A and B are shown apart, each in its own frame.
Chain A
Amino acid sequence: MKIFEKMAHIDRRYIYILIAIVVIVPLLIKPKLPIIPTKPVKDIFDYVENLPQGSNILISIDYDAASMPEQQPFLEALLRQCFRNKLKPVMIVQWQLGAPLGTQGLEKIAKECNAIYGIDYINLGYRPGYVAQMVGIGREIRDYFSVDYKNVSVDSFPIMKNIHNYNDFALLLGLEAGATYLAWVEYAGGRFKQKIALSLNAVSAPDAYYFYQSKQIIGLVGGMKGSAEYEVLENKPDLAVAGMASQSYSHIVIILFIIFGNIAFFIEKNRKRKEGGK
């Protein structure tokens, strides 16, 4: 029993080393673990898969480098699916620090799929205003995005010819790291009845399940696991799938930490109670 008490006061740096090892080793060994897509993720995939060719998809980049491992894999898998199905992604940005990530993901996959800028996709960049912008786009997108991310007039691109507001988008996909998704659902979804799907980082994902149940969103991708599921559905496993083994074993180690920590706590509590009784 004394060993548990000693372990309860172990230097935290040993814990850090153990976590690092548990993440590194599976990335090297690459064990195969089953990744089974869940319904909220499949709903998004199936919806996008069944959209008619030529449909416009509004993708909002609302994350930054801190959520990159969770969102970037989903963005790339989604864009592959869009280009494969001849859908037209239109990218906007609500988080400035995420704009280059969105641009890099878009350009990488567009090049892979031989998509042409201005015809098959467009990047409108960032504008401030947040909620005001979301409501304003409901009337006319050019009131906020009269130029693209390189300051070229949007009217010079064929893709924007018939795009004016939410009526011209088959789906809005928000890639979210904070609470921006609440505004999308309330304003774009509530006021303008825009169909919305969300990819949330794992911290926010539990809070969006009520939107899924109320059908205010058509589907929900949560964290790196959700991105891994989407990669599996798109048949192109990448970073998210590669990270799932490390994710799995890290969770087991943390659960063992919780169990051992509580065992040590109860042993010490018992000992103190007995000493107090004497």
Chain B
Amino acid sequence: MSYPPPPSNGSNDPGDGEPRYGARLPEGQQPQQPSSQQPPQYGAGSDGFGSPVPPPANPYGDAQPGSEQQFGGPPPFQQQPYGGQPGFGGPSPYATGSNPTQRNALGITALVLGILSVVLFCTTWVATLIGIGAVVVGIFGLSAAKKGMASNRGLSLTGVILGGVGIVASIITLIVVLQSPEFAEMMQDFN
């Protein structure tokens, strides 16, 4: 969703819409007005990447025919104070400011990779790569948990530890195998 100026409001800057809406609202809704000036964080669809132009007060306004807004068609004016406030709605999935489970996939991924690196450590370099992945993803998960964007810090930590164990065990295995006389014999058999 983009923010072209509504055809009939083209000469107004976006802030002018605010008193115009406010004048028509009942008294009980006045205190909620300032929050509708904020950019619609999650209602903005694909245009949320920090556009420099402040969006109009009504995030859904450009979906309405602009000329009818001037004459007080009931639907736009009734819906706008409620629809424009992403911070207040309770059950909406877009309502919470910072979701504490948003990055939980990192912890789960780190755990799965850590388990794989330990289980497969006898494959030497494959397990080393998997373990490195577990440690990297787990560190990202720990960082996300610190920022309050993930709730499963324990899974990330377990993944990092398991990944470290897998890396150490697989490298030791690789060294032992490369130095074993059986490996030299096997290589001669291949050649």
To the question of whether A and B form a pair in one complex, the answer is no
B residues touching A (Cβ–Cβ < 8 Å)?
none
